[in-house]
Amino acid sequence: MRIPGFGKARRAARWLKRNLVPSALVLLYHRVAEVTCDPQWLCVTPQHFAQHLEVLKKFGPTLAVHQLEKALRQERISRKTMAVTFDDGYADNLYNALPLLEQHGVPATFFLSSGYLGQEGEFWWDELERLILNPGVLPKTLRVTVDGGTHEWDLGPAEQYGEEAFARDRSWNAMLPQERTPRQKAYLSLCSLLRTLLPEQRSHVLEQLRNARGAAGAGGRPSHRALSPEEVKKLADSSLAEIGAHTVTHPVLAALPVDRQREEIGGSKSRIEEILGRPIHSFSYPFGMQGDYTSETVAIVRDSGFACACSNFEGAIDRETNPYQLPRFVVRDWDRDTFVRFLEEWSRG
């Protein structure tokens, strides 16, 4: 039943809490780069990222995640406090993001998937994009097997995919409502499939897709690689960079047995601490929606020695927020005006 005026009252309550109770906002980035194809809309161009930082400097104080957690614990948070975070550990975080962060004096926390560090291959979602959405030939009926079960997609004429078709489709991303091509449909279906597989199952599916592409399926793109251990050290040398963990293989933790979750969480912490030679304190859940991890996962993160953890659902942070489930807002490749509108809307509640 709709209660007249209830919506306005609820909005007013949110406004009062936002403006009378000090709260913070954590922003989630992935990459600062310009690429030809970005189906997950993970990349923010250097130009737009610089604009975001200019806006943030005027908007309010910015903290690294471990500083934010400490401020929350000590109830020293001020209104419009912000934190900038990066997930995954792309090399462009060092070469494109860090110089701009240092130029504007904005700290950031970088959450790294340790199993990808120093590897020539790509993150699995990038490899999937390269195999399915980049120019090349695939079977008319694309098939993969997982645990004896077969999954298939009819590509039809899209088995042949040239530069002209790629140029036409390259601006597409998964959030657009437009009609999808057979390759785009296959890509999204495979994303859903791979997302919840065990790491070894996912690797097996990607191997089948590489074989389906033939010689064109081999080799990762340097533009999409993760940081090397030496680059992690260089990143950590900046006084503005906090390094955190993001599991080993970037799985959906809720899909793993508890012992595998411990390996992913504790293993990433141990490997990154080995690289840095010092403890790390912050974690972020891969994918990070509330169905992507469990209460057991949260307990494992806490028991592994982390002081806080970031999720990937939206919300403001105040002194009542669970430090092991800090909400974040994903930032897209927005221009200055769009980013300002986003912050103003959040500020108004």
pLDDT tens digits, one per residue of 326-345 = 999 999 999 999 999 999 98
Does a structural domain hold residue 5?
Answer: no
Phi-psi region of 105 (alpha: psi -120 to 50; beta: other; left: phi over 0): left
In a domain, 2, yes or no: no
pLDDT at 6 over 70: no
Q: How far, in Å, are 13, 112, 126, 222, 322 from residue 229 at the CA level?
A: 47, 11, 20, 16, 31
Residue 14 belongs to some domain of the structure: no
Check whether residue 241 and residue 299 sit in a common domain: yes
Is residue 249 in some structural domain? yes
Confirm whether 87 is domain-assigned: yes
Lowest mean pLDDT among 11-20, 31-40, 258-267, 293-302: 11-20
Written as six digits, the tokens of 160 are 């042949």
Show the domain range for 165: 124-219
Is the pLDDT reported for residue 166 higher than 80? yes
Domain edge (last residue) among 219, 251, 286: 219
Same domain for 249 and 335, yes or no, is: yes
Closest residue by Cα to residue 197 from 241, 140, 260:
260
151 domain residue, yes or no = yes
Judge if 206 and 290 occupy the same domain: no
Q: Is residue 142 part of a domain?
A: yes
Handedness of CA 15, 17, 20, 23 (dihedral sign): negative
Predicted confidence (pLDDT) at residue 14 exceeds the cutoff of 80: no
Does the pLDDT of residue 143 top 50, yes or no? Answer: yes
Same domain (yes/no): 96, 165: no
* Judgement on whether residues 266 and 299 belong to the same structural domain of the protein: yes
Same domain membership, residue 107 and residue 235: yes
User: Which amino acid would we find at residue 269?
Assistant: K
The verdict on 101 and 42 lying in the same domain is yes
Residues 210 and 330 in one domain: no
Cα 95 to Cα 65: distance, rounded to the nearest angstrom:
21
Q: pLDDT digits over 272-292, tens only?
A: 999 999 999 999 999 999 999
**pTM of the full structure:** 0.92
CATH number of the domain bearing residue 36: 3.20.20.370
Residues 214 and 341 in one domain: no
Q: Closest Cα to residue 315, out of 327, 323, 326?
A: 327
Across 234-241, average pLDDT: 98
Same domain, 251 and 339: yes
* 339 and 230 within one domain: yes
Sign of the dihedral through C-alpha 172, 174, 175, 181: positive
Q: Which of 201, 219, 237 is the last residue of a domain?
A: 219
Whether residue 299 lies inside any domain: the answer is yes
What is the DSSP pairing of strand 141-146 with strand 62-63?
unpaired
236 and 330 share one domain: yes
Name the domain boundary from 179, 202, 219: 219
Q: Taking 50 as the threshold, does the pLDDT of residue 4 lie above it?
A: no
Q: Using CA atoms, how far apart are residues 236 and 234, in angstroms rounded to an integer?
A: 5
Structural domain count, the chain = 2
